[in-house]
Amino acid sequence: MRFVIQPLALLSLVFSIASYAETNFLLRGTWALKENTQSFQDFGQNHQRFEGDGLRLSQAVISTNQRLFDDWTLSGALNAYSDGEERLNVSQLYIKYRPLGASSIKPEVKVGAFYPAISAENTDIAWLSPHFLTNSAINSWIGEELRTGGVELSFRQNGRQVRSNWSWKVLASLFKGNDSTGTLLSWRGFALHDRQSLYNDRVNFLPIPGVIDEDKLDAPAWTEPFREIDNRFGYYFGTHVAYKRSAEIRYYYYDNNADANAVDPDRIYAWHTRFHSLTLRYLPRPELTLFSQLLYGDTLMGENIVDNDFASAYVAAALNLNAVGLKDLTAAARIDWYRVSDNDNTTYDPNGSRGYAFTFSVKYDVTSHFFITTEWQLNSGHQENLRFFQPNEKYTEHLFQVALTAKL
């Protein structure tokens, strides 16, 4: 099942009831310098987003929250890129019901297409990061292969309402789509970039012989992340606990409940994918933010044709340099680790990979609406299926970026 949305419909909605809307516009041009290796988006070996050096339109976003009635809000994000297969469409579109009431425990219902609130780094508009141009390995993958197309019910309590230092939230969701989640982790491995998959999007990867050959798996070298294949519901549940405004922990369990033996006419396989996610965020001082995330899970396709465990973690820090006399500057650093473990005996389709990445970023606030960000990243590791395309399984990727962002 394809989720077909006309981008102009959202655009017209943005401007039609502007008096009730909170709307943000973001435009980002990025100059990137990298090795001269082909990106996975062009069926290449590189785990980074862009193809070669040069200037790109990396982000163009309209993000809006429309108050329809006192208790109802319509939210959406329309994205445009200069790369990828689908270059203009929505990444999120949902209705939120948050009724007013005297009780300290507040319910909320979300219906539509949206992200589970797993990330501690993607806290800016339209699920962007305020600190980095490139997402962590975990959230690069979530931005590629995960989106809730369904309903989420939550209950929350703000500690200030009950004179407590502690606030909490519990939630659960049922959704469809995401049946192919796990494809990219298994056949490409973790990547690091900031491109979110759009609805009706297609993500390419290296054409591995054991995957595309007709006498092997006979699958295409691409996936559609939000395709419905088996007509089964997936689910997740989670909890948030926060202490004042200085610390928060989030736990999620996700299961797409896919039928691992299902395959559609395009030879897109369903993958039964499950994971645990633990997120931490801590502000020891107003100018310093520390955040981290741990992901552990597994994915299965067919009768043990592909059986992989996967894990990733990062630790990051962002420091407002005003505290040391450097006005309008913010520095951020992150260390990533990731791994995919191949547990099956399908010798023509090796899936194991592992690696680490270091990312350093500095943002300068030119004005309250214009920002210049520079970022350097090293991503290095091993990927077993690279042996079909090069003499060994190793890769080392350097990326330097300079971005100008306008945010209105």
pLDDT digits (tens, 9 = 90+) for 5-61: 455 455 445 544 444 578 999 999 999 998 888 999 999 999 999 988 899 999 999
- Residue 365 CB: number of other CB atoms within 10 A? 14
Burial classification of residue 113, based on how many CB atoms lie within 10 Å of its CB (0-12 exposed, 13-18 middle, 19 or more buried): buried
pLDDT of residue 1: 41
Burial classification of residue 290, based on how many CB atoms lie within 10 Å of its CB (0-12 exposed, 13-18 middle, 19 or more buried): middle
State how far the alpha carbon of 230 is from the alpha carbons of 18, 48, 179, 234, 318, in Å.
40, 31, 7, 11, 42
pLDDT of residue 15: 46
pLDDT of residue 296: 98
Handedness of CA 232, 140, 92, 69 (dihedral sign): positive
Question: How much is the pTM?
Answer: 0.94
pLDDT of residue 21: 72
Angle made by CA atoms 27, 120, 202, in degrees to the nearest 5: 55
Q: What residues in the chain have per-residue pLDDT under 70?
A: 1-20
Exposure string (b/e) for 186-225, b if CB count within 10 Å is 16 or more?
bbbbbbbbbbbbbbbbbbbbbbbebbbeeeebebeebbbb
pLDDT of residue 222: 97
3-state SS record for 29-64: EEEEEECCCCEHHHCCCECCCCCCCEEEEEEEEEEE
Angle made by CA atoms 389, 390, 395, in degrees to the nearest 5: 110
pLDDT of residue 8: 47
Strand intervals (E) in 205-287: 222-223, 234-243, 247-255, 272-285
pLDDT of residue 188: 97
| Residue whose token pair is 């890129």 | 81
Nearest to 142 by CA among 270, 5, 312: 312
| Residue whose token pair is 């450097």 | 326
pLDDT of residue 20: 54
- Residue 102 CB: number of other CB atoms within 10 A? 4
Residues 126, 79 contacting (CB under 8 angstroms): yes
DSSP class of residue 349 equals S
Six-digit token string for 105:
């425990």
Nearest to 274 by CA among 305, 298, 252: 298
Terminal CA-to-CA distance of the chain, rounded, Å? 35
Six-digit token string for 200:
């009706």
- Residue 273 CB: number of other CB atoms within 10 A? 29
Nearest to 52 by CA among 61, 62, 60, 42: 42
